[in-house]
Chains A and B, each alone.
Chain A
């Protein structure tokens, strides 16, 4: 049996006008997102990865209908939300929440944390006014903060704690989907790990679905069930996390994997670099958009249309010649066997509760 997707993008396209004529007619536009179709299943984490300018954040904003698509639809529980009127859309917004990279920019410095978290409760009338304070305390507890934190201001918190506040606020309207746009990218590794663990726990507890937009493939591998890879506005590969990381098909995915710096010294890895720099998104190359940088490019790539060829299994890829590529082995380093004692040391950290959380001034 097939579950229905909670959120679905069908043929999403977004053009931004870069230059206008004297009369205000568009002269030059950039196709930030060009024909992207995705579906997010209930309880699933779908990652959208790619480098700067690939359109991954635009996809996130389109999915939440923060911006209007030029073409295509977004379906929430099967209902087309791109055609909804203002009031109807406002009612649907509670189901799709966002968490951005910079938690400080996401919080109003003049509002206490409690006020920030209570606002969506108020807006969407999630709980009666009398229960709001209790609900705020519950939400703070859910993200690993203490109820008394509600009366403090954002500047009193560290980056990791602020991101927890932002997550609590996103959880407040009891959404179905949370779109995390580089939600852990600005955090130090140890804090990043805390937030990744928190997101996993929340998903298990609340059955949330996540769109996880990130350029950090190690974090993506850790948290996602499926991965969508984008390049210059196009989806180039879509598959389960295992498929993407162990049987990548598209040369771009392969190059991304080969480029991840791995914490394994002297690892023997296959070099599979891309040539040169990203072409201007204003004039994306004809044919396959990767052909100017692809190590396997051939003459036909200049004209072959770039379409995501979906297999019934759900693994799709946009390279017409992937079957003829050399095997994609050795792009990632081999896992090295670790001293079991080190694993016990790791485990000790998980069981440990610090003596005093001297974490705030």
Chain B
């Protein structure tokens, strides 16, 4: 455990792993569980989630409303309310468990080595400060450089995310900017201290498609130049296919499938993912009817015993009354289904 005061002065552990040491993942989430207590009810929002993110990779987290994807990311950033949310498990960032760190250390990390962007840039930006001032503040907070040096850095960041005439924009307020531009400002701010990990929670959902594709291209490009690892939380499988390397699918608070992105689209191994892919209207093919997953997501205050998808699953057997583990069903392909690999199921 590194001394917290030492970190406060900016002496973070070296970014490079020492020679001979086994390369450890940049982020490792181990058996994360989050419960919320509300009115005597306990909502188990995240249940035993484990995954890793490597340097320079993009991990997609897919799921529908209430699947626990945003709560997972907020726990990584330690942004959940301290009271009310009960968090268990471990979130290891370069080997240190963030869940055990002090609030002061977290403030040093956030915006610096861990950054996050949200769906609605207007609510993330302060309407009463210029965008330049807001980026400037982040840089000065973490780099301790002068205001004018930070200004230069901020303008360089705005240029990097292709904001036209960044010197002019620097002095403008969020309301002067379009939605796409605001999201680019958020990206500029998030990347201004060269974070190792960027968590993007539905970063393009509020944007129009042509702007969305500009922002996605930008994120891809910036990742290539900066090597930042990205966790992209989205409900849009199209966006996942466009920019992710690996993907996890969440359902009712659990990871139900985890694999490299190509495998998910070529042959999903969890029935929920099968339904999800089938329900997607495809732009590249014609399909008369969409698959529909019948029923609705179970409530998380009283999740069904056994497999959480069983009441909606066409492939259910008696075995499903028992909770299935997430296991490797093909090389690098994990599924939380007793019947996986689905490719070998007799139909």
Interface membership of B267, Cβ < 8 A: yes
Interface membership of A189, Cβ < 8 A: yes
Q: How large is the interface on B (under 10, 10 to 19, 20 to 34, 35 or more residues)?
A: 35 or more
Using known A-B contacts A51-B208, A354-B294, determine if residue A218 contacts B216 with beta carbons closer than 8 Å. Answer: no
- Checking B239, B261, B262, B291 against A346 with a beta-carbon cut-off of 8 angstroms, the contacting residue is B291
Binary interface encoding of chain A residues 325-361 relative to chain B, with 1 for a CB under 8 A from any of its CBs, else 0: 0000000111110010110111011111111111101
A193 touches B274 (CB 8 A): no
Interface membership of A307, Cβ < 8 A: no
Binary interface encoding of chain B residues 86-109 relative to chain A, with 1 for a CB under 8 A from any of its CBs, else 0: 000000000000000000000000
B209 touches A51 (CB 8 A): yes
Interface membership of A260, Cβ < 8 A: yes
Using known A-B contacts A273-B214, A354-B311, A358-B298, determine if residue A349 contacts B293 with beta carbons closer than 8 Å. Answer: yes
B210 touches A190 (CB 8 A): no
CB contacts (< 8 Å) of A350 on chain B: these are 289, 291-292
Using known A-B contacts A263-B238, A273-B213, A342-B267, determine if residue A193 contacts B292 with beta carbons closer than 8 Å. Answer: yes
A349 touches B314 (CB 8 A): yes
CB contacts (< 8 Å) of B240 on chain A: these are 263
Interface membership of A320, Cβ < 8 A: no
A265 touches B342 (CB 8 A): no
Interface membership of A145, Cβ < 8 A: no
Q: How large is the interface on A (under 10, 10 to 19, 20 to 34, 35 or more residues)?
A: 35 or more
A263 touches B274 (CB 8 A): no
B281 touches A221 (CB 8 A): yes
Interface membership of A188, Cβ < 8 A: yes
A52 touches B208 (CB 8 A): yes
- Checking A255, A262, A266, A348 against B283 with a beta-carbon cut-off of 8 angstroms, the contacting residue is A262
Interface membership of B323, Cβ < 8 A: no
B295 touches A354 (CB 8 A): yes
Interface membership of A219, Cβ < 8 A: yes
CB contacts (< 8 Å) of A264 on chain B: these are 241, 265, 284
The answer for the CA separation of A273 and B213 in the assembled complex, in Å, is: 8
- Checking B164, B212, B262, B294 against A266 with a beta-carbon cut-off of 8 angstroms, the contacting residue is B262
The answer for the CA separation of A221 and B293 in the assembled complex, in Å, is: 21
Using known A-B contacts A160-B296, A262-B238, A263-B237, determine if residue A349 contacts B283 with beta carbons closer than 8 Å. Answer: no
**Across the two chains, which residue of chain A brings its CB closest to B179?**
A52
Interface membership of B149, Cβ < 8 A: no
The A-B contact count (CB < 8 A) is 186
B295 touches A358 (CB 8 A): yes
Interface membership of B235, Cβ < 8 A: yes
Shortest Cβ distance from A104 into chain B, in angstroms? Answer: 13
**Across the two chains, which residue of chain A brings its CB closest to B272?**
A190
Shortest Cβ distance from A106 into chain B, in angstroms? Answer: 19
- Checking B239, B284, B299 against A333 with a beta-carbon cut-off of 8 angstroms, the contacting residue is B284
In B247-287, which residues have CB < 8 Å from any A CB? Answer: 261-262, 265-268, 271, 274-285, 287
B279 touches A190 (CB 8 A): yes
Which of A19-27, A33-41, A86-94, A274-282 lies on the face that meets chain B? Answer: A274-282
CB contacts (< 8 Å) of B268 on chain A: these are 342
The answer for the CA separation of A198 and B228 in the assembled complex, in Å, is: 43
Interface membership of A192, Cβ < 8 A: yes
Using known A-B contacts A260-B283, A342-B267, determine if residue A193 contacts B291 with beta carbons closer than 8 Å. Answer: yes
CB contacts (< 8 Å) of A270 on chain B: these are none
- Checking A258, A261, A278, A348 against B314 with a beta-carbon cut-off of 8 angstroms, the contacting residue is A348
Binary interface encoding of chain A residues 247-267 relative to chain B, with 1 for a CB under 8 A from any of its CBs, else 0: 000000001111111111111
Binary interface encoding of chain A residues 200-234 relative to chain B, with 1 for a CB under 8 A from any of its CBs, else 0: 10000000000000011111011100000000000
A355 touches B241 (CB 8 A): no
Interface membership of A196, Cβ < 8 A: yes
Using known A-B contacts A355-B311, A359-B295, determine if residue A339 contacts B284 with beta carbons closer than 8 Å. Answer: no
A218 touches B209 (CB 8 A): no
In B170-227, which residues have CB < 8 Å from any A CB? Answer: 178-181, 208-214, 216-217
CB contacts (< 8 Å) of B343 on chain A: these are 339, 341
B280 touches A263 (CB 8 A): yes
A193 touches B267 (CB 8 A): no
The answer for the CA separation of A47 and B79 in the assembled complex, in Å, is: 42
B347 touches A189 (CB 8 A): no
- Residue with the highest number of chain B CB atoms closer than 10 Å, among A255, A263, A344, A356: A263
Shortest Cβ distance from B238 into chain A, in angstroms? Answer: 3
Interface membership of B242, Cβ < 8 A: yes
The answer for the CA separation of A265 and B242 in the assembled complex, in Å, is: 6
The answer for the CA separation of A237 and B291 in the assembled complex, in Å, is: 31
Shortest Cβ distance from B119 into chain A, in angstroms? Answer: 13
The answer for the CA separation of A257 and B279 in the assembled complex, in Å, is: 20
A197 touches B289 (CB 8 A): yes
In A276-298, which residues have CB < 8 Å from any B CB? Answer: 276-278
Interface membership of A112, Cβ < 8 A: no
Interface membership of A101, Cβ < 8 A: no
Interface membership of B65, Cβ < 8 A: yes
Shortest Cβ distance from A146 into chain B, in angstroms? Answer: 14
Using known A-B contacts A52-B208, A190-B64, A350-B289, determine if residue A218 contacts B281 with beta carbons closer than 8 Å. Answer: yes
Interface membership of A158, Cβ < 8 A: yes
CB contacts (< 8 Å) of A161 on chain B: these are 296
Interface membership of A194, Cβ < 8 A: yes
CB contacts (< 8 Å) of B312 on chain A: these are 354
The answer for the CA separation of A351 and B314 in the assembled complex, in Å, is: 8
- Residue with the highest number of chain A CB atoms closer than 10 Å, among B237, B242, B290, B312: B290
CB contacts (< 8 Å) of A336 on chain B: these are 266, 284
CB contacts (< 8 Å) of B64 on chain A: these are 188-191
The answer for the CA separation of A122 and B64 in the assembled complex, in Å, is: 38
- Checking A218, A266, A278 against B238 with a beta-carbon cut-off of 8 angstroms, the contacting residue is A218
The answer for the CA separation of A53 and B237 in the assembled complex, in Å, is: 26
Interface membership of B137, Cβ < 8 A: no
Q: Which chain A residues have a beta carbon within 8 Å of chain B's beta carbons?
A: 51-52, 158-161, 188-194, 196-197, 200, 215-219, 221-223, 245, 255-267, 271, 273-274, 276-278, 332-336, 339, 341-342, 344-346, 348-359, 361
Task: Supply 15 A–B pairs (Cβ within 8 Å), ascending by A.
Answer: A51-B208, A189-B279, A190-B276, A192-B279, A221-B281, A221-B283, A261-B213, A262-B283, A335-B282, A336-B284, A341-B342, A349-B275, A349-B293, A349-B294, A357-B295
Q: What 7 A-B pairs are tightest by C-beta distance, nearest first? A: A261-B238, A193-B279, A352-B314, A51-B208, A193-B290, A222-B281, A259-B213
Q: A221-B283, A345-B342 are in contact. List 4 more A-B contacts (CB 8 A).
A: A192-B279, A218-B283, A263-B282, A273-B210
